[in-house]
Structure 1
């Protein structure tokens, strides 16, 4: 799993089963609708897609939406994948669809983990963000059901200006809810997400440092999305700690190879998963994208096999080549493990190879250049 070649096979596949959803989230990537789209991939097409995914060295598969529970055949699809040996998790919306019976059915099928979104430690903050009153209380009820059925819980949180000041309370809530993973998303202005909802570049850096310190004292894992530069912050902190402990590690070599699994503390993926690089997104109608946050279509599974799109598309191939990155990302010593959010670069500049616009770090190459220039003056 950890030694896979991202040029050939993804680490994780996200399949948007439907865009139908009863919520109206402020940041919704999918701009979800209340009704299902008649053009959605059918059950038979879904089975064919799962077969293709399995053949790509069996990556992790996540059902997302919209709300996956808006599809009546969601459990049939999950059952097919799980019986084939695919590890499946699901990110349903906290709506009245999430009944104890629905969760019991999921457990019977064998869904490995459920993920729910909580975007604030109080109903007031969360419900504002989700656009529906009562969403927070429904989420808490669903988590109670999951605990009763002993299903591991993942909490997803989008960091924005609405909750930046209550992150300590948010972390305490995740801890109190006894979750196995806190998946922290950093807003990308796509879909309904607005640039005005984002936190600043400096705040990104501050939250990264806070997350790293938090990771050392909580029992749940922490994972970030659209925050590739968090890896840099983790590695920098690890480097300082190793220096303080007089431990000898060749970080330069590790960074160039992108093989940071033993030193960065991120655990799951030993090299930097990024949009199109170990990551692929399939829309409800079969369109293939580097990620759900990078809306540049590379093909459609109804016309071209997924493996061919992932391996051969010029879009995917360019995203997997950090030497093509522009600006400071292109010369950064962390580019093989970080690479910046290609989604955010695209959203802010229109070019997915541009430099990550919300990173404050100045690469060594640029610092050395500035130093030499100042000496020559």
Structure 2
């Protein structure tokens, strides 16, 4: 999908939270979004300077404009066009509100939007809207259809937690009907409003990883996981029967192939790992990503602790650094969602995050 990228030099995905303002107040929102824009958001000129710096990662760098709801910024089409002109692939993740009209989608498509991602956390209006605590299902489906009409590839993001896990097979069917190119399945990290939700158990998560590999093989759309890199470990075990090739594939995780810029310019390894390595108002995003001690440490799985540090799959998985930080306060610790215990490991195991 991305070609060969040296993740020590460039992220595969650069997320920029253009605003935390949003008309929704979803129960799982990482950003704990609010109705109004923050007065210290990056302004248009600062935003363009960030995109100029991002272009130094190389032609075709993927930049995802996220939020909050990025549509709360009047200059969003201008930023999409500017980034596209600088050789960036500009994707947008709008909220499913009535502001996401066909006219707004057409304007973004004309500006060069390369992909649009929407969230579906239930297979029906009732289940989706109940989970999000807002009426957004109908607007989300309509927006996905409008994007496809304009030739924009659509991605669907789905949160996996105790409230949604039973819906996954039905959501799979809906994703196929919508005609998306990618289903991104996000395994809950308890930050922001999501801190009150209940994650699934590690054993349940392992089973879902197996199922998702089957889905990926059977469906025309791609499947990826977010904050669950042991999906790659499961895939390797299925292919190789265990340990062969355990260093064969590099993966994306917080700080390694992934970076996040907040609405006020703070640079985090992930939006779910809110440790700042610098601010784009003071330093280039390129320098922060490549040279900061935090990012460099997260790209060195040999420095991880516990069973993640001992795991033979650490170079292709590495565990969710965000979940390790959220649950233990240590971004180098073990991912408590992964049930795998390396052979011969007799050290401490992370506390279970769910029964």
TM range, smaller chain: over 0.9
**CA RMSD, 1 decimal:** 1.5
Distance 1:185 1:344 in 2: 12
**CA displacement at 1:196 relative to structure 2:** 4.2
Q: Is the 8 A contact 2:11 2:257 kept in 1?
A: yes
Distance 1:85 1:304 in 2: 21
Matched position secondary structure for 2:151 = coil
Alignment of 1:74-113 (within 5 A): 74-113=76-115
Structure 2 counterpart of 1:72, from 71, 74, 90? 74
The answer to whether the aligner puts 1:272 opposite 2:251 as a matched pair is: yes
**CA displacement at 1:255 relative to structure 2:** 2.5
Alignment of 1:52-201 (within 5 A): 52-58=53-59, 59-133=61-135, 135-194=136-195, 196-201=197-202
Matched position secondary structure for 2:159 = strand
Alignment of 1:10-89 (within 5 A): 10-58=11-59, 59-89=61-91
The answer to whether the aligner puts 1:335 opposite 2:337 as a matched pair is: no
1:222 corresponds to which residue?
Answer: 223
Q: Is the 8 A contact 1:18 1:68 kept in 2?
A: yes
**CA displacement at 1:165 relative to structure 2:** 1.0
Q: TM-score w.r.t. structure 1 length?
A: 0.88
**CA displacement at 1:110 relative to structure 2:** 1.4
Distance 1:326 1:18 in 2: 35
Aligned length, in residue pairs: 345
Structure 2 counterpart of 1:326, from 273, 290, 305? 305
Which ranges of structure 2 fall in alignment gaps of 5 or more residues? 348-355
Which ranges of structure 1 fall in alignment gaps of 5 or more residues? 244-250, 261-270, 370-377
Matched position secondary structure for 1:280 = strand
Q: TM-score w.r.t. structure 2 length?
A: 0.94
Matched position secondary structure for 1:66 = coil
**CA displacement at 1:103 relative to structure 2:** 0.8
Deviations along 1:70-94, one digit per CA (max 9) or x if unpaired, are 0000000010000111111110001
Distance 1:333 1:205 in 2: 17
**CA displacement at 1:295 relative to structure 2:** 0.7
**CA displacement at 1:36 relative to structure 2:** 0.5
Distance 2:149 2:56 in 1: 35
The answer to whether the aligner puts 1:255 opposite 2:246 as a matched pair is: yes
**CA displacement at 1:350 relative to structure 2:** 0.4
| Range moving further from structure 2, 186-195 or 218-227 | 186-195
